[in-house]
Structure 1
Amino acid sequence: MGRKVSIIGCGWLGLPLAKSLSDQGYSVKGSTTRTEKLEAVKATGAEPFLIRLGEKEGDLAKMLDTEILIVTIPPSKQGGLYMEQMEVLAKAADGSNVSKVIYISATSAYPLNGKEVREEDAERVISRFSDIVWLDVEALFMENRSFDATVVRFSGLMGDYYQPGRYFSGKEIKGAENPVNMIHQDDCVAILSEIIRQDAWNEVFNASADEHPTKREFYGKACEAIGVEPPVFVEGRQPFRIVNSEKMKKRLDYKFIHPNPAEAFD
């Protein structure tokens, strides 16, 4: 098991992951794009680095002097820029000491087909959130032969300061009876830790909580949990998908900490 881990992108996911891995005895490096966040990275027990992909300054080479690289950078609305940044990172990792990569992807790689979707059902669809094709970004790492890579497709994120009620309070939500696909931060961190611990490489995993409550139930409870006005629910079905995570659960023998998103509010 590799003991040296570098996390590119210490934000909502990267910071608690750095803390968890440091606590487990890994030697962790963590990057941020903001000078004021270096202390927060250091506080996790990780060695902090200031890195902006695409810029010459920074210590990317030092970050890549590691065994395991975890890429947690979320895409911006500028999909083309994100793709360029990932190309820079994949190329740099190719010529480094990195032997394992975990790339964090998303379940928006699947069509809204009204069905249950598994890993093999992903399509070259443009994400409506970030204007990128997730399969193209994943391929930068999965098709590289200089390291082993595992892709984790997380569904909707919740936990810590990601509180769905803040974003949907008082807003109109269509498809009130549609199922939701969510995963709590605690499970995100635990799943990534298990991938490393069990050497689960050259895999693609879905990661979405077992249960899929309706939008009405989930967002209603999300608003109630923080004491804000509930959304305005509109009846009728909208396009949806149900993300199946059985492959990941079986391979890692994983049991969700928060199997029901509607009961996972802090």
Structure 2
Amino acid sequence: MKRISILGCGWLGFPLAEQLLVKGFQVKGSVTSRLKLKKLKAAGIEPYRLVLDVDKVQLKDQTFFDTDLVIVAIPPKREEFIETIFPAQIKQLVKLLEEFKVPQVMFISSTSVYNELNGEVREDNVLLPQKSSGKALVVAELLLTQNPHFKTTVLRFGGLVGADRNPARFLSRKTTAISGSKPVNLIHLDDCLQIIQTIIDKDLWGETLNACCPVHPSRQEFYEKASAVSGMPAPAFQNEQSPYKLVDSSKLIHLLDYQFIYRSPMDYLEAESSE
């Protein structure tokens, strides 16, 4: 594998493209804004403007799909009817994946596909998401994984932290007390990038993997520490138990022989506080 196309060079896709360039891959990257094309080109990423619509794909130069792997790193937008809009967009993408005979696909999904069952959730769980974005992702996963023309590996990431994402801001606007005992399911950007790289290196296709810190501190423990590190006021917590889920990443750890850079999101905060 020498050529990789990243559909969506945003918060995750852009640093991933930079990392893959360092590893010696030819990297093509897409954005929806013409203004961001210069940023890609300056970084050595072959720039493409690609917009997925429900009825077509806006893409002038289709050499984006002349590649060994397409990494789909575009989350569903927070908009009305996303349950039908996002799958329709993925259907348009699938047409091009088939047409250009792309052999492998990696789809960046989310642990929002799981319901809160008050226990561990694994890849073989029945998926009954509550949020519209989770429902959209479930259908998108099926459209890709059940297609016989290419092999898809799905990565279900937990909540993303690191880089310029200050976790203290996640709950800073809450005006009422929230459950403090609820466990968090988070993963650092550094681990996201390393996991993707390891999948490519090990040529692991046709799998669905949870990707989340193996250690799950409570909301109160994590966000009080995050607020202290960033100098922001901590949200108010209450002891009342609310529905929760614990994302189990043991399948990923086993198949990739992977060691997390940050086994707990608390490790990330400790590193931040020592800088």
TM-score, with structure 1 as normaliser: 0.94
Q: Secondary structure at the match of 2:51?
A: coil
Count of residues in correspondence between the two structures: 264
What do the CA deviations read for 1:142-201 (whole angstroms, capped 9, x no partner)?
011111110000011111122221232252452201111000000111101111110000
Alignment of 1:113-132 (within 5 A): 113-128=117-132, 130=133, 132=135
Corresponding residue for 1:94?
98
Corresponding residue for 2:246?
242
Report runs of 4+ in structure 1 exceeding 4 Å deviation: none
Shift of 1:40: 2.3
Identify which of 233, 239, 243 aligns with 2:237.
233
Corresponding residue for 1:14?
13
Q: Secondary structure at the match of 1:263?
A: helix
Alignment of 1:41-120 (within 5 A): 41-54=40-53, 57-59=58-60, 61-78=62-79, 79=82, 80-120=84-124
Shift of 1:225: 1.9
Q: Is the 8 A contact 2:187 2:211 kept in 1?
A: yes
Q: Is the 8 A contact 2:4 2:67 kept in 1?
A: yes
Q: 2: CA distance between counterparts of 1:245 and 1:24?
A: 26
Corresponding residue for 1:134?
137
Q: 2: CA distance between counterparts of 1:165 and 1:124?
A: 29
Alignment of 1:116-195 (within 5 A): 116-128=120-132, 130=133, 132-169=135-172, 171=174, 172-195=176-199
Shift of 1:131: 6.2
Q: 2: CA distance between counterparts of 1:87 and 1:223?
A: 41
Q: Is the 8 A contact 1:77 1:131 kept in 2?
A: no
Corresponding residue for 1:34?
33
Q: Which runs of 5+ in 2 are unaligned?
A: none
Counterpart residue type for residue 247 of structure 1 = K
Identify which of 223, 228, 232 aligns with 2:227.
223
Identify which of 208, 221, 243 aligns with 1:204.
208
Cα RMSD of the aligned pairs, angstroms, is: 1.6
Shift of 1:114: 0.5
Q: Is the 8 A contact 2:110 2:134 kept in 1?
A: no
Q: 2: CA distance between counterparts of 1:126 and 1:260?
A: 26
Question: Do the aligned partners of residues 162 and 60 (structure 1) sit closer, same or farther apart at CA in structure 2, a change above 3 Å counting?
Answer: farther
Q: Which runs of 5+ in 1 are unaligned?
A: none
Q: Secondary structure at the match of 2:4?
A: strand
What do the CA deviations read for 1:90-123 (whole angstroms, capped 9, x no partner)?
1211111310000011111112000111100141
Q: Secondary structure at the match of 1:125?
A: coil
TM-score, with structure 2 as normaliser: 0.91
Corresponding residue for 2:2?
3
Q: 1: CA distance between counterparts of 2:39 and 2:218?
A: 36
Counterpart residue type for residue 222 of structure 1 = A
Counterpart residue type for residue 205 of structure 2 = W
Q: Is the 8 A contact 2:172 2:234 kept in 1?
A: yes
Question: Do the aligned partners of residues 106 and 170 (structure 1) sit closer, same or farther apart at CA in structure 2, a change above 3 Å counting?
Answer: closer
Counterpart residue type for residue 92 of structure 2 = V
Counterpart residue type for residue 251 of structure 1 = L
Q: Is the 8 A contact 1:51 1:60 kept in 2?
A: no
What do the CA deviations read for 1:52-100 (whole angstroms, capped 9, x no partner)?
1125542362211101000000111231222211111112111113100
Q: Is the 8 A contact 1:124 1:133 kept in 2?
A: no
Shift of 1:125: 2.5
Q: Percent identity?
A: 38
Q: Secondary structure at the match of 2:93?
A: helix
